[in-house]
């Protein structure tokens, strides 16, 4: 206890009571029965990213203008941010808590800015510090799954060779996404940064069961990521006709510079991204394409914003319209007979059933028909030991197939065909292969590396799993957990787009990137859900001075000798980066 001062007379008294020595001897922490604890939680964007990006982490770095660090952070999880910043369907934005406040953060545009900025500034990845391992791994397919797996395995230290059937790497990113959405120089730049790590490549190397059995004996593990490159045939009269072009073949042929003769009236059948891209590419080649989709707009699997752009460009989409017959004159297609559908009650899978409207058949004059109703894997190349189900490879959680040492990921394994899922599965396979080669299981580390309760795994957590500091809990922060008193409504910054005239007369990229200033402002809208961003509200509000600040980036700590557990720090934390624990006494 401090020294007590006594006064004899009124005249000796000061005007106000005051202390002249520290009161720290009074350990008021004894009074506490609830204990506040600093603990980062999982932001919803991170939780929903199939590629396992630390979205909040790089938005935070972007807020601090640390663009290089932000890019590095993405690259730890995903080698293709310039691709994802353009072509990912960004589930992160759908789950963004800001969406319930005003509008979600434009995460994809910020990701693209960071990646484009890295290209512009010529940033290179930090060198791999891990010891080179002797084991060799074969990656079959160089789409996002294959590239992601190769990249992460290389970072772990393995020797990696990619086998690609086509003359150039990229898989569906190269042939399936036209230049106006993903310029090829951007794709190539990102692929180069992966290859620069020292990855062997073999292009025009189509693999089949024999080569897998013979030529891959030297490899300690194989990752199959051959994707879905076979178009589903149109199952209608005349559908097998040579005059019906497959959407994917069309995109591929145009990419490799083949001439595809098109008339004016081009009917594109389907509602996925291939259908939309096919129609928009045909438009740029001078045709007047239109899209026929048998279901409703709500069920359309294509990225919504791309559908809107297609419509803006003047492409008409007829919904609940299904082709029934192709009418030809000689070798030439002249018309497409269609029927109108209506929706019925949902079936067992939850999709609305389609009911043909009687006598609603009608012909549409067409010059070409492009069928883009879906793609499936080419399973003829797979060894018999690899089990299939619904034409997809069967694996366990660790992406292990039924054949020893063979893993599979990406579209050839998963029905959830998206770039981010493919990148995520490549990473999952890389971790699983590392575990396999060490005779350990993926399951043992899942709790450490899984992001929240979502689909993504964190490579950073995997590589730094001995360091539990700043690891986030699985709890996903929701809008109700945010103290919105600390935020003001600010509209989302939209990216600018090329004028319609400029788009259709060129193959130029439709979406223009954010300028630096806009990216900074947009990143500044982030709530940083569940993650301490050193706002110091806890420090400011603590009436017991029990929140201790430290120099540098070290986060605040709590002086439990004096914290009374009043909880004001938790109440005033804008982003729920703390929690309260009951103390048993």
Partner 1 sequence: MIKVMIGNHAVSYGVMLSRVQVIPAYPITPQTSIVEELSEFCADGHLNARFIKVESEHSAMACCIGASAAGARTFTATSSQGLALMHEMLHWATGARLPIVMANVNRALGPPWNIWNDQTDSLSQRDTGWLQFYCESNQEVLDTVIQSFKISEEVLLPTMLVLDAFFLSHTAEAVDVPDAQDVDRYLPRYQARYRLDVDNPHSFGNLATPEYYQGFRNKIQDDMIRARTVAKKADEDFESIFHRSYGFTEAYQCEGADLILVTSGTVVSTSRIVIDELRKEGRKVGLLKIRMFRPFPFDDVIGALKDAKKVAVLDRAISFGHSGIFAQEIMSAMYNQPSKPLIYSYITGLGGLDVTPRIITDIINDACERDIPPQESIWIGGKS
Residues near partner 1 (CB under 8 A) are 7, 10, 13-20, 23
Nearer to partner 1, 128 or 548 (CB): 548
CB of 484 to partner 1, least distance (A): 16
Nearer to partner 1, 5 or 416 (CB): 5
Nearer to partner 1, 7 or 447 (CB): 7
- DSSP assignment string, 393-450: E---TT-B-SSTTEEE-GGGT-SS--HHHHHHHHHHHHHHHHHHHTT--SHHHHHHHB
CB of 544 to partner 1, least distance (A): 11
Dihedral angle over CA of 66, 69, 70, 76, nearest 10:
180
CB of 14 to partner 1, least distance (A): 8
Alpha-carbon gap, residue 31 to 155, rounded angstroms:
50
Nearer to partner 1, 213 or 548 (CB): 548
Nearer to partner 1, 389 or 485 (CB): 485
CB of 481 to partner 1, least distance (A): 23
- Name the phi and psi angles at 340, rounded to 5: -90, 140
Residues 6+ apart with CB under 8 A from 501: none
Nearer to partner 1, 10 or 242 (CB): 10
3-state secondary structure 54-70: CHHHHHHHHHCCCHHHH
Q: Are strands 34-38 and 578-582 parallel, antiparallel or unpaired?
A: antiparallel
For residue 68 the two structure tokens come to 């290089």
3-class secondary-structure state, position 465: coil
DSSP class of 373: S
CB of 23 to partner 1, least distance (A): 7
Nearer to partner 1, 7 or 517 (CB): 7
Residues 6+ apart with CB under 8 A from 29: 546, 559, 560, 561, 562, 563, 564
Residues 6+ apart with CB under 8 A from 433: 137, 149, 153, 158, 221, 223, 407
Q: Which of 279, 289, 288 is nearest to 254 (CA)?
A: 279
CB of 6 to partner 1, least distance (A): 9
For residue 447 the two structure tokens come to 């709790």
Nearer to partner 1, 20 or 25 (CB): 20
Alpha-carbon gap, residue 331 to 367, rounded angstroms:
12
3-class secondary-structure state, position 269: strand
8 Å CB contact between 155 and 148: no
CB of 552 to partner 1, least distance (A): 21
Q: How long a stretch of residues is the chain? A: 585
Report in angstroms the alpha-carbon separations of 412 from 164, 225, 234, 302, 425: 15, 6, 21, 19, 11
Nearer to partner 1, 15 or 298 (CB): 15
CB of 7 to partner 1, least distance (A): 7
3-state secondary structure 440-452: CCCHHHHHHHECC
Nearer to partner 1, 7 or 25 (CB): 7
CB of 31 to partner 1, least distance (A): 16
Q: Which of 544, 543, 538 is nearest to 561 (CA)?
A: 544
119 burial class (0-12, 13-18, 19+ CB within 10 angstroms)?
A: middle
CB of 488 to partner 1, least distance (A): 14
CB of 569 to partner 1, least distance (A): 20
Nearer to partner 1, 13 or 416 (CB): 13
Nearer to partner 1, 16 or 298 (CB): 16
- Give me the long-range contacts of 347-356 (CB less than 8 A, separation at least 24): 351/299, 352/295, 352/296, 352/299, 354/294, 354/295, 354/320, 354/322, 356/322
CB of 29 to partner 1, least distance (A): 18
């Amino acid at each position: 206890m401090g020294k007590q001062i006594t006064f004899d007379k009124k005249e000796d008294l000061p005007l106000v009571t005051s202390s002249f020595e520290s009161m720290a001897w009074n350990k008021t922490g004894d009074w506490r029965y609830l204990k506040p604890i600093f603990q980062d939680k999982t932001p919803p964007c991170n939780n929903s990213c199939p590629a396992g990006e630390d979205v909040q982490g790089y938005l935070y770095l972007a807020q601090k203008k640390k663009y290089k660090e932000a890019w590095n952070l993405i690259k730890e999880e995903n080698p293709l941010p310039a691709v994802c910043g353009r072509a990912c369907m960004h589930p992160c934005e759908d789950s963004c808590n800001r969406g319930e406040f005003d509008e979600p953060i434009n995460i994809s545009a910020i990701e693209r800015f960071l990646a484009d900025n890295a290209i512009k500034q010529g940033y290179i990845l930090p060198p791999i510090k891990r010891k080179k391992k002797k084991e060799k791994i074969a990656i079959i397919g160089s789409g996002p799954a294959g590239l992601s797996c190769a990249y992460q395995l290389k970072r772990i230290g393995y020797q990696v060779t990619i086998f690609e059937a086509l003359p150039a790497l990229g898989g569906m990113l190269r042939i399936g996404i036209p230049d106006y959405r993903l310029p090829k120089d951007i794709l190539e730049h990102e692929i180069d940064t992966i290859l620069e790590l020292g990855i062997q490549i073999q292009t025009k190397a189509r693999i089949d069961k024999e080569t897998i059995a013979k030529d891959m004996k030297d490899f300690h593990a194989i990752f199959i990521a051959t994707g879905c490159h076979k178009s589903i045939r149109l199952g209608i009269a005349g559908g097998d006709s040579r005059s019906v072009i497959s959407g994917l073949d069309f995109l591929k042929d145009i990419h490799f510079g083949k001439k595809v003769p098109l008339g004016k009236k081009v009917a594109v059948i389907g509602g996925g991204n291939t259908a939309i891209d096919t129609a928009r590419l045909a438009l740029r080649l001078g045709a007047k394409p239109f899209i026929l989709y048998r279901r409703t707009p709500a069920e359309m699997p294509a990225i919504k914003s791309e559908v809107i752009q297609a419509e803006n460009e003047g492409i008409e989409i007829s919904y609940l319209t299904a082709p029934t017959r192709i009418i030809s004159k000689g070798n030439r297609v002249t018309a497409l007979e269609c029927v109108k559908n209506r929706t019925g009650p949902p079936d067992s899978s939850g999709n609305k059933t389609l009911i043909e409207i009687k006598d609603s058949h009608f012909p549409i004059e067409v010059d070409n028909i492009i069928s883009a109703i879906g793609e499936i894997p080419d399973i003829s190349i797979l060894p018999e030991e690899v089990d299939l189900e619904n034409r997809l490879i069967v694996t366990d959680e660790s992406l292990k197939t039924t054949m020893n040492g063979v893993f599979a990921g990406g579209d050839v394994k998963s029905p959830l065909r998206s770039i981010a899922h493919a990148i995520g599965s490549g990473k999952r396979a890389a971790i699983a292969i590392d575990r396999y080669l060490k005779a350990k299981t993926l399951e043992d580390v899942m709790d450490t590396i899984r992001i929240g309760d979502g689909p993504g795994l964190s490579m950073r957590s995997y590589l730094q799993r001995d360091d539990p500091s700043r690891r986030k809990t699985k709890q996903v922060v929701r809008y109700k957990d945010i103290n919105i008193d600390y935020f003001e409504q600010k509209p989302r910054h939209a990216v600018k787009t090329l004028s319609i005239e400029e788009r259709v007369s060129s193959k130029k990229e439709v979406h223009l990137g954010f300028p630096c200033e806009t990216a900074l402002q947009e990143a500044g809208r982030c709530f940083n859900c569940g993650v301490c961003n050193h706002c110091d509200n806890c420090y400011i509000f603590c009436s017991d001075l029990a929140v201790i600040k430290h120099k540098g980036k070290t986060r605040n700590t709590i002086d439990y000798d004096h914290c009374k557990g009043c909880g004001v720090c938790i109440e005033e934390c804008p982003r729920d980066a703390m929690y309260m624990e009951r103390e048993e006494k």
